[in-house]
Amino acid sequence: MTAALTTASVLAGPPAQAAPPTPIAASTARSYLSELSVATPGSMSGYSRDKFPHWITQSGSCDTREVVLKRDGTDVAQNSSCSATSGTWKSPYDGATWTAASDVDIDHVVPLAEAWRSGASSWTTAQRQALANDLTRPQLVAVTDNVNQSKGDKDPATWMPPLASYDCVYARMWVQVKHYYDLDVDSAEKSALQGVLNGC
């Protein structure tokens, strides 16, 4: 039965509206948020993005970035080395549409530096690699490059997507990832998330 379902889903092709995995419901997110440990952010001492190996090979010559570009875009064409050569990407953070992969960043919803301060500093490299390349949970999303750069490593107390209509989705994504990886939240971050989720 599983094989039949898998074959059917492969034959059906990608969904019309490709997107990151659907996050948990707001009610679940509120419950998960209440379970997260509240702590003062840890030190950035020793942090390096290299400690979170990202854009690892997923299959063939395709790395995580190319997989997300294909998943989140429309009519994405790739060359023999799996690089996106054409396609259309609509950034859910700001609603902008792009036709060049170079204008699109893959955002880590929970930034790597934020994860480091929230508990990942004590993880193994394998655990950090899993977070940095997680295609199962809503941790990776193709967005406008300069919007991603303006976000940096900020948490929801200091940064939310410019498109306010995406706030609920973003908060649900954030809480799901933090809960799955058992990462801490600080009090301002928790308060900001509660405010958004209570309005969902």
Which tokens go with 75? 């009519």
CA-based end-to-end distance of the chain: 37
Q: Tell me the pLDDT tens digit for each residue of 94-110.
A: 999 999 999 999 999 99
Which tokens go with 68? 């997300």
Which tokens go with 40? 């003062």
Residue with tokens 């092709």: 13
Indicate the burial class of 127 (C-beta count within 10 angstroms; 0-12, 13-18, 19 or more): middle
Give the SS3 label for residue 12. Answer: helix
Task: Please give the helix or strand (H or E) that residue 143 lies within, else none.
Answer: strand 140-144
Q: Tell me the pLDDT tens digit for each residue of 126-174.
A: 999 999 999 999 999 999 999 999 999 999 999 999 999 999 999 999 9
Task: Please name the amino acid found at residue 114.
Answer: E
Would you state the pLDDT for residue 162? Answer: 97
Can you tell me the distance from the alpha carbon of 84 to that of 73, in angstroms, rounded to the nearest whole number? 10
Which tokens go with 23? 């996050």
* Domain chopping of the chain, boundaries: 19-198
Q: What is the DSSP letter of 23?
A: P
Q: Tell me the pLDDT tens digit for each residue of 61-74.
A: 999 999 999 999 99
Question: Which region among 5-14, 75-84, 112-121 has the lowest average model confidence (pLDDT)?
Answer: 5-14
Would you state the pLDDT for residue 17? Answer: 45
E strands present in 102-181:
104-108, 140-144
